């Protein structure tokens, strides 16, 4: 699976919620190879302002159409630049990068917090037609535009919000013990803030369910060359989030 550099035209760029956009680009070479959990590394400006690329998870890849989509939140300069892209503008993209999720399971539970739900959209589609459940957490009702993106692929959608405006009040991890006790899952996939993933890993271990998590670190190269993204791994071995991950077995990194 070679990593490639492409000048990808924008096919569609839509706002799906407040400050959340979905960007679809034409890059057949990436689309045909991509697996869920992998990411692309986008150049957001042709000047050196900002200088570095921005990593975004692949939220959809359509090998037939040759398109790859990302779902991103506008949080700073780089994503604000990205938001200016119009149809047919060309984006400089490296991809697909990193190691994706392992699909060997029959009753998975997907757990996503915030933008961690973006790569899981792709994963859910990929795992179809397995019976699928997703546990999603957001701060308020406003973040639950994700429901729409999961309803076709998932049989059951469990929702928590910090303020209780939709679903159960609290965090995903508060709802998790109950779900796991009800049982039946043979795999957990988690993506979201690190504290959430750590708690998921503990519970997964307790319930004896194999668990994969997707990590985030600040990245310069995206290909394992700069060591800006490494995290502590098992037995003191460092892991590169950009190439050894972003997806890891929970016990590799926690």
Partner 1 sequence: MPVNNELISSDMMAVEIAGIKMKTPVMTASGTFGFGLEYEEFVDINQIGAIVVKGTTLLPRSGNAGVRIAETPAGMLNSIGLENPGVEAFLAAALPKLAQYDVPVIVNIAGNTVQEYGELAKRLETSGVAAVELNISCPNVKQGGIAFGTDCDSAAAVVSTVKASTSLPVIVKLSPNVTDIAAMAQTVEAAGADAISLINTLLGMAINIHTRAPVLGNVVGGLSGPAVKPVAVRMVWQAANAVKIPVIGMGGIMTAEDAVEFMLAGASAVAVGTANFVNPCAIVEITAGIKAYLVAKGLANVGQLVGGVNLNG
Residues near ligand FES (CB under 6 A): 219-222, 224-229, 240-242
Q: Residue 57 annotated as binding?
A: yes
The Cα–Cα gap between 215 and 235 comes to: 19
69 annotated among ligand-binding-site residues: no
Q: Based on DSSP, count helices (H) and strands (E) in the chain, helices before strands.
A: 7, 16
Q: What are the helix (H) ranges across 55-189?
A: 77-82, 117-127, 146-150, 172-182
Residues that bind ligand FAD in the complex, under the rule CB under 6 A: 39, 50, 52, 54-57, 70-73, 75-79, 115, 118, 216-219, 246
Closest approach, Cβ 137 to ligand FES, in A, equals: 27
The sheet with strand 187-191 has its strands ordered as 168-169, 156-161, 133-138, 108-113, 187-191, 211-214, 247-249
- Closer to a copy of itself at the Cβ: 49 or 88? 49
**Cβ-based nearer residue to partner 1, 22 or 43:** 43
- Judge whether 211 is annotated as a binding position: no
- By CB under 6 A, what part of segment 207-236 binds ligand FMN? 220, 226, 228
Q: Looking at beta carbons only, is 86 or 152 nearer to a copy of itself? A: 86
**Is 72 annotated as a binding-site member?**
yes
Burial 89-116 (b: 16+ CB within 10 A, else e): eebebbbbbbbbbeeebeebbbbbbbbb
As a whole number of angstroms, the distance between CA 99 and CA 106 comes to: 21
Q: Which of 246, 202, 191 is CA-nearest to residue 224?
A: 246
Q: Which residue is nearest to ligand FMN (CB)?
A: 226
C-beta of 7 vs 77, nearer to ligand FAD: 77
Q: What is the DSSP letter of 140?
A: S
Minimal CA–CA distance to 147: which of 157, 139, 155, 137?
A: 157
**47 or 88, CB closer to a copy of itself?**
47
Stretch that binds a copy of itself, among 27-35, 42-50, 91-99, 177-185 (CB under 8 A): 42-50
- Give the residue numbers of the binding site for FAD: 54-57, 71-73, 78-79
- Give the residue numbers of the binding site for [2Fe-2S] cluster: 221, 226, 229, 242
């Amino acid at each position: 699976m070679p990593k490639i550099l492409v000048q990808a035209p924008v096919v569609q760029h839509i706002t799906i919620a407040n400050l959340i956009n979905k960007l679809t680009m034409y890059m057949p070479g990436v689309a045909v190879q991509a697996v869920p959990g992998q990411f692309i590394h986008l150049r957001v400006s042709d000047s050196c302002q900002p200088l570095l690329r921005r990593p975004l998870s692949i939220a959809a890849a359509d090998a037939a159409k040759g398109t790859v989509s990302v779902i991103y939140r506008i949080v700073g300069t780089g994503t604000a630049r990205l938001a200016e892209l119009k149809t047919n503008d060309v984006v400089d993209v490296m991809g697909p990068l990193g190691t994706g999720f392992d699909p060997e399971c029959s009753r998975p539970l997907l757990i996503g917090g915030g933008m961690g739900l973006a790569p899981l959209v792709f994963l859910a589609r990929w795992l179809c037609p397995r019976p699928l459940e997703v546990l999603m957490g957001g701060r308020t009702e406003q973040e639950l535009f994700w429901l729409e993106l999961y309803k076709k692929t998932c049989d059951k959608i469990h929702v928590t919000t910090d303020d209780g405006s939709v679903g159960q009040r609290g965090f995903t991890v508060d709802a998790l013990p109950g779900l796991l006790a009800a049982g039946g899952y043979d795999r957990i996939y988690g993506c979201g803030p690190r504290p959430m993933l750590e708690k998921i890993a503990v519970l997964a271990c307790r319930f004896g369910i194999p668990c994969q998590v997707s990590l985030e670190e600040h990245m310069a190269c995206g290909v394992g060359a700069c060591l800006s993204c490494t995290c502590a791994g098992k037995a003191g071995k460092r892991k590169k989030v950009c190439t050894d991950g972003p997806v890891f077995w929970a016990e590799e990194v926690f």
